[in-house]
Structure formats: C-alpha cells, structure tokens
Amino acid sequence: MSALAIDLPEDVSAARDGILKFAEQEILPRHAEYQAFFEDPRAMYGEDGKFSETLQSLIRDVRESSAKAGFYQMCVPEALGGGGLGHLAYYAAWQALFHRCGPKNWLMLYSLAHWAFGPSKLLEQITDEALAKVMPGLLDGSKSMCFGLSEPNAGSDASMIKTKATRDGDGWRIDGRKIWTTNAPIADYCVIFAVTNPDLSVANKSGITAFLVPTDTPGFTVQRIIKLFGHIGGDEAELAFDNLYVEPWQVVGEIDNGFAAALYGVSLGRIYNSARAVGYGRWSLELALDYAKAREAFGSAIADYQGVSFPLAESATELHAAHLMGINAAKLLDRGEPAVKELSMAKTYSVKVGYAAVDQAMQTHGAMGFTNEIGLVEAWHALRIVNVADGTNEILNRTIAQRLLKGDVGL
Ligand SMILES: Cc1cc2nc3c(=O)[nH]c(=O)nc-3n(C[C@H](O)[C@H](O)[C@H](O)COP(=O)(O)OP(=O)(O)OC[C@H]3O[C@@H](n4cnc5c(N)ncnc54)[C@H](O)[C@@H]3O)c2cc1C
C-alpha cells in the first residue's frame, strides 16, 4: 500500500534506498558495537566540552565510508565534484534516514553531507583555488566545515551582524564574533559572513561577504563550547576572530553579496529540518503505535481507548501533510524557483507537528516516555530546537505573511 501518489524519480528513490541500506549496514552496527560508549557522556565529550577523540574518529569514519560508497557527496553539485542530485533527493534521503534510524543511531547525521558541515551547493561559487585546495578533503569526508552567520547581537535579523572584514592589501582582516556555530568545535573550515561595506549592509542586506576560512588560521578561536539541555559538552560554539587574515581565493561568491549565499544556505537548512521533523515524527508515531497495542490498562490494550488512538491519528494526519509539503517545496527548488513561501510553510509546519508527534508519543508511553533508553527525549530535544534554528516559527510566519501581502497567494 502506498500513502503517496507522487512518484519520486528513479534516481531519487535509488539514492534514498541506497543510503538507507548504507545506514543499516554501517550505522546501526556501529551504534550496537559502541552502545556503552554512547551511553556515557564522559566518554563522548572531553574535559573541554568538545566531542572526544574517539567520537571524532567515529564521525570521520562514517563520513569517509559513506563518501567511498558514493552516498556522502551525492547531493553536492557536479561542478564541485559531487553526484549532482538535487533538493528532492536531499529531502527524501534525510527524511528516510531520520525515520529509520531515529535519534539513537545518530551517527547517521554524518552519512550524507550536511548543507553546513559538509560540502554543499552553498559552496557553488567558490574560487578555482578553493576548489583545488578545499573540496577534495570535504568530498572524501576527511574534513568538515561550519556556517558562521549568527552573532551575539544578530540572530533573526542577520543584517545586524557586526563582524567586519577590512581591506589589507589584496586580502582582508576579519574581526568579530559568532555564536551558535554548529560543528565549529571540530570543523576544519568555517564559512564566515562579515561586513565588507557597512553603508550597503545597513541599507539593503548587501555589503556582506562570505569567506571560506581554515579554522587553524591565526586569529580564529573557539572561545566557548555551548552546552544545550544539560549535556556536559556540545557541538555549538562561540567563535572569536582577531585580525584574521583572508586572501582573495577565500571569497565565496560575490564581494558584498554574501547575504544571497547565507539565505540559500538557510534554505537548504529548512529542507533538512523539514525532513528531520517528519522523519523523527514518523519514528516516534510508530513507536507509540507499537506501545499502545502492547500496553494494557483496565482490561484492554490502551490502543482500544480513543483517548490514546485519536491523538495518534491526528499526529499521522499532520505528518502526512508535512511530508507532502516538504516534497513539494523540494520539487519547486529543483525547478529553479525560490519557493520562499512554500519552504517557509513546510519548515514551520513540519517542526511544529513533528515536535507535537514526539510529545504525543511520550504521553502514550506514560512514564516510560521519559526514560533515556527509548530515545523519545532526544527526539523531543532535537525538534524543540529546530522551532528556533534555521529561522524561528515567528520569522517564517513573517516571511509567509510578507509573500501573501505582496500578492503571492497561490496555495
Ligand atoms: C541548536 C542551534 C544551532 C544553530 N546553529 C547555527 C549555525 O550553525 N550557524 C549560525 O549562523 N546560526 C546557528 N544558530 C542560530 C539560529 O540561526 C538563531 O538562533 C536564529 O536565527 C534565531 O536567532 P536568535 O536565537 O538570536 O533569536 P532572536 O532573533 O533574538 O529572536 C528572539 C525571539 O524573538 C522573535 N522575533 C524576532 N524578530 C521577530 C519579528 N519580527 N516578529 C516576531 N517575532 C520575532 C523570534 O522568533 C524569537 O522567538 C543555531 C541555533 C540553535 C538553537
């Protein structure tokens, strides 16, 4: 039986099925083998709060194995040396991975190049020199990167960034700070967004340039690892740049027009997070259905009570709608349309209903839903966060309203 009348193109379904098989053969066994390790936060994080050496090498190993098998880089543009599959494949593969692996087998996060931590279309306009110097390591999975846009005083309104790049000979000197930069503690490169023309940047969101910077450049410091939800370490960091010198080969795209790259990157993030929310939502719904059929109260399986089954029916309905929205937005992007409204709708709706589905699955499990063993808590944390990351729900509603008021009322 098929829930979707929309057939995915053959290359897209083959890519999705291929990476799922990879996850089954390579990711799930690693988690089984390292189960005790993944249950011990003191083994996972070093004293400094960074991922421990063992964890870093497990992550690198997954990236490299997937790259060797041809999956890691499959959605990277061909011009950058990747497989050239588009946004729909990116959505479909991530959705399937999150659905199949759930939050416990999280090394799967490194089996497909993430738009911000690995090679992606974000780098489409790098220089030939950067292509030769940086892409081989990113494509084979030995290196990773991060996306430095948000700052202590610039979140939703990224045009408020204060990090500046001042001309020095042929290059620039970068000074400033970034915050919330995911993967920064272990990344080899950072795409830093900096103001190169303050007058333009205030006026119309230009005047900002993107630079591709090795994280071992003098003047680049990871100042602090940010710990979320009571973890003893973290993958987000606060960064400081002090007189950091960059050369012309490091410019990504056009000088003073880096905001376009930032917005495109965030669009990829919205596809990724729509897929993540639908995938985790489906995973938790299926867990709840199994539990409801097995758990008994008052002489019957709890699934027999409509108070238990109707909320699950609602979750399923919402996740189905979110899934269709994600597929639709990805298809529009593949057609070359910006899909600003549709992508904003898909992301804000998916993360809300995905989060609600996980929450409902916890409720269905009773006290069992709050234990560390099942993984619902991890999915709940992850989806709570993406109601903020890559555009808050309010900012996405703002974008949708702006589009509607401009006459973009197609639904
Ligand atoms: C786990 C995590 C990882 C992240 N990773 C990265 C990363 O790798 N790189 C990066 O650059 N950034 C990253 N971010 C930052 C993220 O992009 C910002 O958190 C996000 O853009 C919101 O900015 P803010 O947190 O500063 O909230 P603010 O912009 O300060 O907003 C605070 C509140 O005000 C609301 N608000 C603001 N303006 C309006 C408005 N006009 N109308 C209605 N409501 C409004 C917001 O919706 C929010 O509820 C990450 C964030 C998280 C949580």
Q: What's the CATH number where 195 sits?
A: 2.40.110.10
Please report, for the domain that includes residue 60, its CATH number. 1.10.540
User: Helix 306-334 and helix 340-364: axis angle, to 10°?
Assistant: 160
- Report the nearest atom of ligand 1 relative to the CA of 395: 47
Residue nearest to atom 39 of ligand 1 (CA): 395
User: Does one domain contain both 63 and 166?
Assistant: no
- Report the nearest atom of ligand 1 relative to the CA of 392: 47
Burial class (CB in 10 A: 0-12, 13-18, 19+), 206: buried
Q: Which of 252, 269, 299 is the last residue of a domain?
A: 252
Is the minimum distance from the CB of 182 to ligand 1 under 6 angstroms? yes
Residue nearest to atom 7 of ligand 1 (CA): 181
- Report the nearest atom of ligand 1 relative to the CA of 157: 29
How far apart, in whole angstroms, are the C-alpha atoms of residue 246 and residue 196? 12
Q: Which of 217, 252, 287 is the last residue of a domain?
A: 252
Write the Ramachandran bin of 205: left for phi over 0, alpha for psi from -120 to 50, otherwise beta.
left
The answer to whether residue 110 sits within a structural domain is yes
- Report the nearest atom of ligand 1 relative to the CA of 150: 11
The answer to whether residue 4 sits within a structural domain is no
Is the minimum distance from the CB of 69 to ligand 1 under 6 angstroms? no
Mean pLDDT by 10 residues, the chain (411 residues): 92 98 97 96 95 98 98 97 98 98 97 96 96 98 98 94 97 98 98 94 83 98 94 96 98 94 92 98 98 98 98 98 98 96 98 98 98 94 96 97 98 96
User: Does one domain contain both 281 and 400?
Assistant: yes
Distance 237 CA to ligand 1 centre (A): 15
Q: Which of 236, 252, 268 is the last residue of a domain?
A: 252
User: Does one domain contain both 269 and 401?
Assistant: yes
Query: What global pTM score does this model have?
Result: 0.97
**Which residues are paired to 182 by β-bridges?**
236
User: Does one domain contain both 266 and 401?
Assistant: yes
Q: Which of 153, 180, 229 to mutate to test the pocket of ligand 1 (most atoms within 8 A of CB)?
A: 180
Is the minimum distance from the CB of 388 to ligand 1 under 6 angstroms? yes
Identify the pLDDT of residue 404: 98
Identify the pLDDT of residue 249: 98
Contact predicate 6/84, CB 8 Å? no
Is the minimum distance from the CB of 385 to ligand 1 under 6 angstroms? yes
- Report the nearest atom of ligand 1 relative to the CA of 183: 8
User: Does one domain contain both 161 and 220?
Assistant: yes
The answer to whether residue 138 sits within a structural domain is no
Q: What are phi and psi of 46, to 5 degrees?
A: -80, 180
The answer to whether residue 317 sits within a structural domain is yes
HEC letters along 33-52 = HCHHHHCCHHHHECCCCCEC
The answer to whether residue 1 sits within a structural domain is no
Residue nearest to atom 9 of ligand 1 (CA): 181
Identify the pLDDT of residue 151: 98
User: Does one domain contain both 90 and 175?
Assistant: no
Contact predicate 161/181, CB 8 Å? no
Distance 161 CA to ligand 1 centre (A): 13
Is the minimum distance from the CB of 147 to ligand 1 under 6 angstroms? yes
Residue nearest to atom 53 of ligand 1 (CA): 389
Contact predicate 219/207, CB 8 Å? no
Q: Which domain holds residue 245?
A: 145-252
Q: Name the residue among 120, 106, 90 with its Cα closest to residue 326.
A: 90
Is the minimum distance from the CB of 377 to ligand 1 under 6 angstroms? no
- Number of residues that this document lists for the chain: 411
Q: Which of 153, 156, 177 to mutate to test the pocket of ligand 1 (most atoms within 8 A of CB)?
A: 156
Identify the pLDDT of residue 237: 98
User: Does one domain contain both 270 and 400?
Assistant: yes
Residue nearest to atom 51 of ligand 1 (CA): 389
User: Does one domain contain both 225 and 306?
Assistant: no
Is the minimum distance from the CB of 392 to ligand 1 under 6 angstroms? yes
What domain count does the chain have? Answer: 3
Query: What residues contact residue 334 under an 8 Å CB cut-off, 6+ apart?
Result: 86, 87, 88
User: Does one domain contain both 111 and 190?
Assistant: no
Is the minimum distance from the CB of 156 to ligand 1 under 6 angstroms? yes
User: Does one domain contain both 41 and 23?
Assistant: yes
User: Does one domain contain both 246 and 335?
Assistant: no
Distance 368 CA to ligand 1 centre (A): 32
Distance 157 CA to ligand 1 centre (A): 8
- Report the nearest atom of ligand 1 relative to the CA of 154: 26
Residue nearest to atom 23 of ligand 1 (CA): 155
Contact predicate 305/343, CB 8 Å? no
How far apart, in whole angstroms, are the C-alpha atoms of residue 325 and residue 344? 10
Record the tokens describing residue 148, joined without a space. Answer: 């430095």
Please report, for the domain that includes residue 325, its CATH number. 1.20.140.10
Is the minimum distance from the CB of 243 to ligand 1 under 6 angstroms? no
The answer to whether residue 382 sits within a structural domain is yes
User: Does one domain contain both 102 and 181?
Assistant: no
The answer to whether residue 303 sits within a structural domain is yes
- Report the nearest atom of ligand 1 relative to the CA of 398: 42
